[in-house]
Amino acid sequence: MMWRSLAARGRHTVWGRGGGRGKASVTTSPAPHRGARAVGLGGVFPPMPTPFLPDQTIAWDHLATNVRAWSDVPFRAPYRRGHGYGASHSDPYKLISGTRDSNLGSAHQGIPWVVEGSNGEYVYLSPEERVELVQRVRDFLPSDSDKLVLAGSGCESTRDTIVMSQRMAEAGADAVMVVTPSYYKAAMKDKALHAHFTAVADNCPVPVILYSVPAFTVIDLSLDVIIDLAHHPNIIGLKESGGDITKIGSVVHQTQHLDFQVLAGSASFLLATLQIGGVGGVCAVANVLGEAVCELQRLCKEGRMEEAVTLQRKLIAPNTAVTKTFGIPGLKQVMDWKGLYGGPCRLPLQPLSTQETDNLRQVFLDAGYL
């Protein structure tokens, strides 16, 4: 595997802050080892929107209120694949022995959260805001909380992504989710992306999750790169938002002997992902319909497929409304209707028009969710 040229050295370069504010230093330390801090990704992850006040500052009090409300939703993973839990072809939720990691007792399997996914408007946040957001979410949780915090640490440069990942780990992230860099799209070939993710994983003190979201980046992380990176000891999974079930199935099949976990990036194909061996999903609509999305996963786990298919069909229209059709402004509007704080988006994102708001409301009314 290509990553072995770096990992085999036994030591890796660490990019961190040093010598003064805004500067980076280079040190060396032992390369991370997956078994040292196993993180199970099974379950439904709500990608938390970042709340803003009308003056465009982050609404920290409202964030705390939202976190408390989401804490009542049963996002806990009923199963886990990876780190000793694997998917068989006959039963993707069955405990399987003999996988690479035998350190089951140390695996973190808490209630999942995603901070600064695409729905968190992270591209509009300053580096300082991004780190503080992770710290605040962790601080809002009880000290003995079993919440599992995943933080989106992706930046355009490898250097900045490494530094951001390290800072988020210090702030309380249990793992980081790294999106593909995309500004120089034509140059983001397999070699560049492989080198980027390898360097980040080599230098990150917590596990790394690959994040492919071509709808935003126009970069579709290739199957070959994913499979090779899955062998890296500090890369534990993939959030796949492209919706290509053939690709998702191929990843699951070709990594079934590894501690590698696959998450659906949308509720619209959550059931298909679970059926083919995925472990869960990071679903925008779970912010407002968390119980329903968790119920879909439970029905699948229990083999009640007719009910699961019915519920999956019911969720498609609301999910599409708060993603492709009306985006983050639509999601925040439904949050307001549901008693959470949605509030405004950070400019240049615009609020919904009156007609768009009416159309959004009708979608949720027709589905029986308002």
Strand partners, 125: none
Is 189 labeled as catalytic in the residue annotation? no
343 phi-psi bin (left φ>0, alpha ψ -120 to 50, beta other): left
In the set 147, 239, 247, 332, the catalytic residue is 239
d(C-alpha 240, C-alpha 263), whole Å = 6
Residues classed as catalytic: 239
